[in-house]
Amino acid sequence: MLRQKKTSALIIGSGLAGLSCALELARRGITVTVVSKSEDLYACNTAWAQGGIAYLDDTQSVGDSLELYAQDMIQSGDGMNHEPAVQQLTQLGNKLIKAEMIDQLKIPFDRDSRGILLKSKEGAHSRARVIHVGDATGKAIQTGLVKVATAHPNIEILSNYTAVDLLTTQHHCVGRTFTYSLDNVCCGAYLLDNTSGRVKTVPADYTLLATGGIGQLYLHSSNSPGSIGDGMVMAKRAGAAILFPHYIQFHPTALAKGRQRFLISEVVRGAGAQLLNGRGERFMKRYNPQQLELASRDELTRAIIQEMIANEEEFVYLDLSTHRQEEGPIEERFPTIFQECLKFGIDIRSQPIPVVPAAHYLCGGVKVDLNGRTTLERLFAAGEVACSGAHGANRLASTSLTECLTWGHQAAKTIADALERQEGLSDTIVNALRDWEDVGESVRLDRQRLAGDWSRMRTVMWNYVGIIRNPKLLEIASKDFRLLGESLAELYFNAAMSKDLVDLFHGIRACQLIVDSAKKDPVSVGCHYLSG
């Protein structure tokens, strides 16, 4: 069937933002459709999150406060944060962690023998407040969510489907009323069945983008494979406002082995590990003698890159010989990291880990309010794809899962309230929607071209739109992407539909969006650092 019956809520993305929205709507009796690009519901950044989630409990967080937590976020964000979003994340977010994660989903956060939650310290946090499940916190959360969501009768999960385009009245409804109307309304999406190559029209009363970030546009990234900025690109094409797409955070420490940059969590440094250059110097003493390895991520990342350039080295080392004993044995506190490094012959109990920075988190994105509403009617966004201003120009560690939970929940509440007021999409709009037309299959996407174009994009993004930027480099990248974008547009409109084709096209558009925005922003702040 090329057209699906209208759904009340179409949720594109199946990580924490998408599934927490789906669960809240389902609890309120609303049937929802969740789309996952992959067959594997663990192929998302939520499941890959290691360190944990900042949380303050009433009785145990002595000497800490939500005000202090909010101040840390603003300091880390270089003052570019939107304060109401910071307040919502810290205050409502903290309540939701208790209600949803601890009480409802019963995520098995680590506790001491008295049952008290164990808390770690991470960079730029003024207190130890990060709760965790070993070093695989995201996986434990995703496991809890997937279990409940897949069993819920109100939740339909379409896995192995790729969103191709958001449907809007101005672009996809047939009829002069729509052509001449000043209003533009989101009314669902075209979804590609990755297996059959057919594109379905899925009308929806409300659509939520929860597609995650952009890390995989870079040569070195800590992100899951689908993180290519597709949600942001679709939102932009549909007419929604995008904010600061060039605010891209690099994680300071990823394993410098293998094609995929495996993350070495910030909590490893929080537990005492030190950064050393090739000469064995603890170089952070020169860059930030107060905070050392727990400086904010943007600062630490730049220090590492500068050190690598000055010493002509391809990585620096993370040395765990200073790991604090009270954190427990290294292999028990960080079992996933321990095992992953062993695969490369590194025993982290006795050998330093070679590390490099890697693209990690999109602090900008689709502009949203406190309820996840975008500037396009009936379109919502939550999680990494969205920009509420909570993170300013540089996100504080272990706040991203809270953001997903909070904005996913707020979007669900807003959508459910609207549906209860009978504010669904009219039949006139649904009936006017054009189904997808395959325009031609004259060109084949060959594997060599696919690999070559991705490699070119990632290399240019890493070298010219990376950690330290300057206007000349941004201009070079922009010209290169313009050329590549033109040739890909031609390919896109003539080749047979496939997930690879859609991803490639979304990838180049995301690169263009980022570089063009970076070029226009002369203010060097947070993770948009300009030199020269």
Binding mask 274-303 for ligand SIN (x = CB under 6 A): ------------------------------
Part of the chain binding ligand SIN (CB under 6 A), chosen from 108-116, 169-177, 260-268, 424-432: 260-268
Q: Count residues binding ligand SIN (CB under 6 A).
A: 9
Contact 73, 90 (CB under 8 A): yes
Instruction: Indicate the residue among 266 and 369 with the shorter CB distance to ligand SIN.
Output: 266
**Shortest CB 462 distance to ligand SIN, Å:** 19
Phi/psi-derived region of residue 471, left when phi > 0, alpha when psi is between -120 and 50, beta in every other case: alpha
Contact with ligand SIN (CB under 6 A): which of 15, 51, 383, 507? Answer: 51
Instruction: Indicate the residue among 184 and 398 with the shorter CB distance to ligand SIN.
Output: 398
Part of the chain binding ligand SIN (CB under 6 A), chosen from 98-106, 262-270, 440-448, 483-491: 262-270
Which ranges in 312-344 belong to alpha helices (H)?
A: 330-333, 335-343
Gap between the Cα atoms of 15 and 20, Å rounded: 8
Per-residue burial over 156-177, b if 16 or more Cβ lie within 10 Å, else e, is ebbbbbbbbbbbbbeebbeeee
The structure tokens listed for 295 are 């400086």
**Shortest CB 49 distance to ligand SIN, Å:** 6
**Shortest CB 263 distance to ligand SIN, Å:** 6
Gap between the Cα atoms of 56 and 65, Å rounded: 7
Q: E strands within 66-211?
A: 130-131, 155-159, 161-168, 186-193, 199-209
The structure tokens listed for 311 are 């010493």
Instruction: Indicate the residue among 109 and 481 with the shorter CB distance to ligand SIN.
Output: 109
Site membership for ligand SIN, residue 256 (CB under 6 A): no
Instruction: Indicate the residue among 240 and 362 with the shorter CB distance to ligand SIN.
Output: 362
Find the binding residues for ligand SIN in span 400-459 (CB under 6 A). Answer: 400
Contact with ligand SIN (CB under 6 A): which of 14, 221, 265, 402? Answer: 265
Q: E strands within 325-405?
A: 353-362, 365-367, 379-381, 386-387
Q: Which residues contact 145 (CB under 8 A, 6 or more apart)?
A: 16, 19, 20, 23, 46, 105
Contact with ligand SIN (CB under 6 A): which of 17, 149, 397, 495? Answer: 397
Closest residue to ligand SIN, Cβ-based? Answer: 51
**Shortest CB 244 distance to ligand SIN, Å:** 18
How deeply is 71 buried, as exposed, middle or buried, from its count of CB atoms within 10 A (0-12, 13-18, 19+)? middle
Part of the chain binding ligand SIN (CB under 6 A), chosen from 169-177, 202-210, 309-317, 392-400: 392-400
Instruction: Indicate the residue among 42 and 424 with the shorter CB distance to ligand SIN.
Output: 42
Part of the chain binding ligand SIN (CB under 6 A), chosen from 228-236, 264-272, 276-284, 432-440: 264-272
Contact with ligand SIN (CB under 6 A): which of 223, 398, 402, 410? Answer: 398
| Helix orientation angle between 471-494 and 499-520, rounded to the nearest 10 degrees | 150
Percentages of the chain per state (helix, strand, coil), in multiples of 5: 40, 20, 40
- Half-sphere CA count of 464, side-chain side, radius 13 A: 23
Instruction: Indicate the residue among 52 and 144 with the shorter CB distance to ligand SIN.
Output: 52
Catalytic positions are: 297
Residue closest to 374 by CA, chosen among 157, 156, 89, 168? 168
**Shortest CB 333 distance to ligand SIN, Å:** 13
Site membership for ligand SIN, residue 394 (CB under 6 A): no
Site membership for ligand SIN, residue 72 (CB under 6 A): no
Q: What are phi and psi of 483, to 5 degrees?
A: -65, -45
Site membership for ligand SIN, residue 50 (CB under 6 A): yes
Site membership for ligand SIN, residue 46 (CB under 6 A): no
- The C-alpha angle with vertex 431 and arms to 429 and 435, in degrees rounded to 5, equals 105
How deeply is 154 buried, as exposed, middle or buried, from its count of CB atoms within 10 A (0-12, 13-18, 19+)? middle
Interacting residues toward ligand SIN by CB under 6 A: 50-51, 263, 265-267, 397-398, 400
